[in-house]
Amino acid sequence: MADDVTLGQLRAWVEGFQVLVAAHRGYLTDLDAAIGDADHGTNLDRGLTAVVTALRESPPGAVDELAKTVAMTLISTVGGASGPLYGTFFLRFATAAGPVTTLDVEALALALRAGVDGVVARGHAEPEDKTMVDALSPAITAFETAAADGAASACRAAVAAAEAGRDATTPLVARKGRASYLGERSAGHLDPGAASSALLVRALADAVAGA
């Protein structure tokens, strides 16, 4: 099937995520400085740089192997809450995808859904808690809704939903994570986790589009 997403594209997704996070490192850290401990960009950049190195040193032969390498590397190198959260996303993605080298759009939707459900469970987060979930949940729902139009269209829909969800975190009062200690003072700032999650979705769309 022409529309299948390949192992190479999924690897390009992860590598593209690293490039986007590196380019936005200061932006993510500045967002985190406003309502957290000012390390989100630095932590995620360190973790993803280690991921890219790990993938170069032992190139994965299957989608689950790829996602598991990403997960275990992030878990051991990121440090902050985004380590176990993105780690759980990729672990669940690996289990749902299995030892294959391509995913059709339905299989990709299932793997993404498993990943997002993992983030929700790990973070005990609800929508509008001002977290990664506010970008990821609308993104996977939009992906599923548009899946019949093919992976590229589904990814574009997911990007629009993720970025709208990210932007909608600004007025929210944080109810999870370090920002929740700030209470009302967390309102008026974009959530850094939602911002990096929107980059994750954009990187997928770029990789699937072959950009």
Partner 1 sequence: MVGIVVVSHSPELAAAAVRLAAEMLHGSTVALAVAAGTVDGATGTDAARIAAAIREVASGDGVLVVTDLGSAVLSSELALELLADSGGVEDEIRLSTGPFVEGLLAAAVTASTGAALDRVAGQADSALEPKRRLLGGAAT
> Which positions lie near partner 1, rule CB under 8 A?
39, 43, 46, 50, 72, 75-81, 83-85, 87-88, 91, 122-123, 177-178
Nearest-approach distance from CB 79 to partner 1, in angstroms? 2
Nearest-approach distance from CB 20 to partner 1, in angstroms? 21
Nearer to partner 1, 16 or 47 (CB): 47
Nearer to partner 1, 3 or 37 (CB): 37
Contact 192, 204 (CB under 8 A): no
Q: First-to-last CA distance in the chain? A: 20
Nearer to partner 1, 39 or 163 (CB): 39
Contact 114, 96 (CB under 8 A): yes
Nearer to partner 1, 48 or 81 (CB): 81
Contact 66, 60 (CB under 8 A): yes
- 91-97: long-range contacts, CB 8 A cutoff, minimum separation 24: 91/67, 91/118, 92/117, 92/118, 93/67, 93/118, 94/63, 94/64, 94/65, 94/66, 94/67, 94/68, 95/64, 97/63, 97/64, 97/67
Q: Which residues pair with 6 in a beta bridge?
A: 102
Nearest-approach distance from CB 205 to partner 1, in angstroms? 27
Nearer to partner 1, 77 or 169 (CB): 77
Nearest-approach distance from CB 37 to partner 1, in angstroms? 9
Nearest-approach distance from CB 22 to partner 1, in angstroms? 17
